[in-house]
Amino acid sequence: MPTYRRLPVSFCRGRGLRLWDAQGNEYLDAIAGVGVTALGHAHPELAQVIAEQAACVLHTSNLVEIEWQERLARRLCALTGLAAAFFCNSGAEANEAALKLARLHARRRGVTAPLILTLENSFHGRTLATLSATGNPAVKEGFAPLVDGFLHVPADDPAALEAVARSRPEVVAVLLEPVQGEGGVRSLSAAYLQAVRRLCDRHGWLMMVDEVQTGLGRTGAWFGYQHAGVQPDVLTLAKGLGNGIPIGACLAGAAAADLFAPGSHGSTFGGNPLACRVACTVLDILARDDLPRRARRLGERLRAGLQAAIGTLPGVEAIRGPGLMVGIALDRPVDELPRLALERERLLLGVARGGTLRLLPALIASEPDIDDIVARVARLLTGVLRS
């Protein structure tokens, strides 16, 4: 079905940040499958683990204990300070689980028509519930009626949250992204996240943090919320957790960890031995190679290089984002730039709302890789903005 604007290229192999098509042409990947292949393409340790597990067992169903799933749950809970994990297959599914937890939290509190606060300019997925939670009207076009029970408030505006808290006693949770990736790579301030945490504590709301794109080192910390020194009640993960093997996770702390009971939620494929063993290996590599710290250092290099190369070009409004999550805001539409980048520079990049180019290179990038990205982006935008 025509659900994607596909670029006219197909890749047959990759290594690190490089991809090759069937004709042997080499490309530089600066988007990592929209933040998925954080350890690059064809990582040798992951390839070995996938082969080993495929020769053992791929799937048993969640009707039996799964050792690798239990290991992964313990690892993620130790990293986050949360208490329990549910595994699924994608970020949207992880957010669906979070939304169901919020509904059960409301039921426990005796709230019969619960309201979940989400932010304007947010993106949480394309299922009907996560689409309803998303604060971007454009992606909702044609899908009414949507799911009730969501109220969108301005991002990074504590006063707006305070006003809702005074007037809407049916609020039970807040769902937010520490950095709005699809929304233009816009970071929420530490002060705002701290204000959200205080309001949740005061009113008994769940603080639910969508780290599908920001989690696991991307922002220069293990998780984006850690930059603000807060602790969420619910956390969702996907993308980089499996480096291309589909897996999502919804973690919950004490306020929500016991809300699900047998039969209240489930997933046929979620938490299978292959996905969970790969995810455990991803965590091993992230920790061993200190990749969150590396992302912070390389992100500074990337932003500084871009600022020096294109910061004064007419049409460049901002270069922003933490770690290896960088947005280049332009004063014009950017929809054609991925095609031009492919054709002119053999470069893969992404776009986001608000005329923003999006760069999400693998966390294993080298300094020469980062400098190569800067050089190709600079040539591309110099040609486009000065033409």
Q: Helix, strand, or coil here: 14?
A: strand
Strand partners, 11: 21
Q: Could you tell me the strand order of the sheet in which 171-176 lies?
A: 84-88, 248-252, 234-237, 206-210, 171-176, 115-119, 150-153
Strand partners, 117: 151, 174
> Which one of 210, 233, 369, 372 is the catalytic residue?
210
Per the annotation, the verdict on 260 as an active-site residue is: no
Q: How far apart are CA 163 and CA 161, in angstroms?
A: 5
What's the angle, vertex CA 86, arms to CA 199 and CA 228, rounded to 5?
35
Q: Which two tokens stand for residue 353?
A: 């709302």
Q: How far apart are CA 270 and CA 259, in angstroms?
A: 19
Q: Is 167 exposed, middle or buried (0-12, 13-18, 19+ CB in 10 A)?
A: exposed
Rg (CA), the chain: 21
H-type helices in 59-157, by residue range? 67-80, 91-109, 128-133
Q: Which two tokens stand for residue 232?
A: 């969420």
Residue 231, Cα to own-chain centre: how many angstroms? 18
Residues 97 and 236 sit within 8 Å (Cβ to Cβ): yes
> Which one of 150, 156, 239, 372 is the catalytic residue?
239
Q: Where is 371: in which H helix or E strand? A: helix 367-385
Q: Is 266 exposed, middle or buried (0-12, 13-18, 19+ CB in 10 A)?
A: middle
Residue of 102, 106, 270, 113 lying closest to 176 (CA atoms)? 102
Q: Where is 307: in which H helix or E strand? A: helix 291-310
Per the annotation, the verdict on 239 as an active-site residue is: yes
Q: How far apart are CA 201 and CA 207, in angstroms?
A: 9
> Which one of 123, 150, 223, 260 is the catalytic residue?
123
Per the annotation, the verdict on 123 as an active-site residue is: yes
Active centre residues (catalytic) = 123, 210, 239
